[in-house]
C-alpha cells in the first residue's frame, strides 16, 4: 500500500449488518466507495483482509481501511469566476450563467463549470470514487442559467444522487414561451429519448423506449405573443422542459433546437440580441446529505431574460410581472 494512504480505523458498535453498510455508517465514506476499497484489498476486519461487501459483521469488530490519496482529475483547474450561493465542506451551490458548459466534453475541453470548480475547491475535494473532482449530480444546458448543486465528497455525492433518483429534489424553472399555454396550468407526461432523426436532439417517444418524464407547468403571466411560465420537475431528463413545452405547441423563445421564434417577435429578439432559450433554473431544494438539514435556494431571473420580459409586458403591466421574476 502507498505511503500516502490515509488510515481509517475503529470499532463497529453493532453486529448483524452487511460490512459495506457498517463501514459506511462508521466513516465518511459512501457504500460505493467502501465496495471499491474492499475490491482493492484495502479493508481489514479483526486483522484479516476482507473483500466481500455482504459479510455480516460482529459487534466490537475492529476495522481498518487504507484509503489511497485521491488521484488528480483529468480536467484542469481554471480561474473562472463563480457566483457561489452556498458552500460547506460537503457541497457547493452555484448560480450558473448562460453560456457556461457544465462538464468538459468533445468541443468543450475546458472553460467549463468543472474547470472552475477544480480551481475554486482546490484542496477541498476528498475524492469522488477516488478521484479529486467535483461530483456532478445534475446538469443544466449550456445556454440555460440558474442553480446547480455539486458534491465535494463521496458521501455527499451518493446522498444527493439518491435524492435525484427518488425525485425528492425540489426544482423549478422560469421560462418565456411562444404563445400562452392552454390550459394555463397542467402536467405534461411523456417519455424522452435521443431523437432517431437527429442525435443532437431529444424527442418524445412511446412509453417503454425512453425515460419517463413529468413536468408540471403554470402560467404566471400572459405577455404580448408570449407567456411567463413556471415549470416544476418531477423528473430531470435531458432538455425536459424544452421538449415538453414544445410538444404542447409552446416552445421556449430563443430555443434554436426545439422551436422557432414567432415572426412577430423576431425583430424584438434580434434587437435585444437574445440568442438562447429563455430558461432559468430559479429554485432548488434538497436535504443536506450530511447534516440532514433541509436547504432551499432561489435565484433571480438574469438581466437578459428580464429585459425580454419587460419588452413583452403590456403598458402598466411590467411592475406586477417583474415582481414574479
- What DSSP letter does each residue of 237-251 carry, written as one string? -TTHHHHHHHHTT-P
Comparing CA positions, the residue from 287, 295, 286, 204 lying closest to residue 241 is 204
Smallest Cα–Cα separation from 171: which of 233, 128, 80?
233
As a whole number of angstroms, the distance between CA 70 and CA 277 comes to 38
Q: What are the start-end ranges of the E strands in 74-144? A: 84-87, 91-96, 131-132, 135-136
Q: What does the alpha-carbon distance between residue 174 and residue 180 come to, in Å, rounded to a whole number? A: 14
Would you give the distance in Å from CA 238 to the centre of its chain?
11
Q: Which of 20, 95, 141, 154 is catalytic?
A: 141
| 95/298 Cα distance (integer angstroms) | 9
In order of 3, 42, 105, 282, the CA distances from 324 in angstroms are 57, 54, 35, 11
254 near 277, Cβ under 8 Å? yes
What's the Cα-to-Cα distance from 313 to each of 133, 181, 199, rounded to whole Å?
A: 44, 17, 37
Q: Is 141 a catalytic residue?
A: yes
Q: What are phi and psi of 39, to 5 degrees?
A: -65, -25
Alpha carbon distance 73, 96 (integer Å): 21
Question: How is residue 211 annotated by DSSP?
Answer: B
260 class by beta-carbon count within 10 Å (0-12 exposed, 13-18 middle, 19+ buried): exposed
Q: Please name which of 291, 280, 41, 292 lies closest in space to residue 173, comparing C-alpha atoms.
A: 280
Q: Is 111 helix (H, G, I), strand (E, B) or coil?
A: coil
Annotated catalytic sites, by residue? 141
Amino acid at each position: 500500500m502507498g505511503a500516502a494512504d490515509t488510515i481509517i480505523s475503529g470499532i463497529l458498535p453493532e453486529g448483524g449488518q452487511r460490512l459495506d453498510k457498517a463501514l459506511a455508517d462508521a466513516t465518511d465514506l459512501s457504500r460505493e466507495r467502501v465496495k471499491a476499497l474492499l475490491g482493492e484489498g484495502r479493508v481489514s476486519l479483526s486483522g484479516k483482509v476482507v473483500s466481500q461487501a455482504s459479510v455480516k459483521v460482529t459487534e466490537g469488530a475492529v476495522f481498518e481501511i487504507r484509503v489511497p490519496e485521491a488521484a488528480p482529475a483529468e480536467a484542469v483547474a481554471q480561474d473562472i469566476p463563480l457566483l457561489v450561493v452556498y458552500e460547506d465542506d460537503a457541497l457547493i451551490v452555484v448560480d450558473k450563467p448562460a453560456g457556461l458548459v457544465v462538464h468538459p466534453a468533445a468541443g468543450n475541453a475546458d472553460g467549463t463549470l468543472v474547470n472552475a470548480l477544480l480551481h475554486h475547491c482546490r484542496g477541498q475535494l476528498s475524492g469522488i470514487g477516488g478521484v479529486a473532482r467535483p461530483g456532478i449530480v445534475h446538469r443544466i444546458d449550456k445556454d440555460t442559467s440558474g442553480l446547480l448543486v455539486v458534491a465535494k465528497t463521496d458521501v455527499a455525492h451518493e446522498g444527493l444522487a439518491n435524492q435525484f433518483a427518488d425525485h425528492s429534489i425540489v426544482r423549478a424553472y422560469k421560462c418565456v414561451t411562444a404563445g400562452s399555454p392552454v390550459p394555463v396550468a397542467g402536467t405534461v407526461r411523456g417519455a424522452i429519448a435521443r431523437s432517431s432523426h437527429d442525435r443532437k436532439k431529444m424527442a418524445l417517444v412511446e412509453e417503454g423506449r425512453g425515460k419517463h418524464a413529468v413536468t408540471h407547468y403554470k402560467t404566471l403571466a400572459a405577455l404580448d405573443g408570449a407567456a411567463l411560465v413556471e415549470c416544476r420537475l418531477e423528473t430531470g431528463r435531458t432538455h425536459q422542459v424544452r421538449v415538453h413545452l414544445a410538444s404542447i405547441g409552446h416552445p421556449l423563445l430563443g430555443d434554436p433546437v426545439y422551436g422557432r421564434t414567432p415572426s412577430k417577435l423576431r425583430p424584438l429578439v434580434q434587437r435585444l440580441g437574445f440568442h438562447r432559450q429563455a430558461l432559468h433554473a430559479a429554485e432548488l431544494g434538497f436535504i443536506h446529505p450530511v447534516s440532514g438539514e433541509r436547504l432551499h435556494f432561489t435565484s433571480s431571473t438574469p438581466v437578459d431574460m428580464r429585459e425580454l420580459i419587460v419588452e413583452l409586458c403590456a403598458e402598466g403591466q411590467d411592475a406586477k410581472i417583474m415582481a414574479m421574476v
